[in-house]
Amino acid sequence: MRFLGNVKVEKFNKNGNNLTAKIEVLEDKTILELPYVYYSGYDVTLDGSKVRAFESENGFLAIGLNKISKTDLKVEYNSNLGIKIFSLICFILFVVYNIIEKRVNVDKTEKSIEN
């Protein structure tokens, strides 16, 4: 994590697309840059309240904070329905393409054996 301001971090735990930490922000107008490339679908909460995340100038997920005492930070990735549908369509097209490609290659092999 990178800070633009004064922040204390305790109990930092990053597991894949999820992160938890206990933080204390010691001054107002602090920017906390999180160790994730900015992408739609991340939910950031402080003590259970959702916080607006934005893209930092380095392209990472970031949040703006004012002075707060120790609080629980939680970051979770929740892919949206559109991404899931797009991924499923791509997978189906990949399978169909491979089936067609295999049949075309079998037909070519059979024709070359006949000749």
DSSP 16: T
- Rounded Cα distance between 41 and 53, Å, is 10
pTM: 0.60
One-letter amino acid of 14: K
What is the pLDDT, as a whole number, of residue 83? Answer: 78
DSSP 79: -
Q: Which tens digit of pLDDT belongs to each residue from 33-52?
A: 888 888 878 889 988 889 89
Q: Which tens digit of pLDDT belongs to each residue from 57-98?
A: 889 989 888 888 788 899 988 877 777 888 899 999 999 999
Partner residues linked to 11 by β-bridges: none
What is the pLDDT, as a whole number, of residue 88? Answer: 92
What is the pLDDT, as a whole number, of residue 96? Answer: 95
Q: Which tens digit of pLDDT belongs to each residue from 3-38?
A: 556 778 888 888 887 889 888 888 888 888 888 888
Partner residues linked to 22 by β-bridges: 10, 72
What is the pLDDT, as a whole number, of residue 89? Answer: 95
Mode of pairing for the β-strands spanning 18-25 and 30-37: unpaired
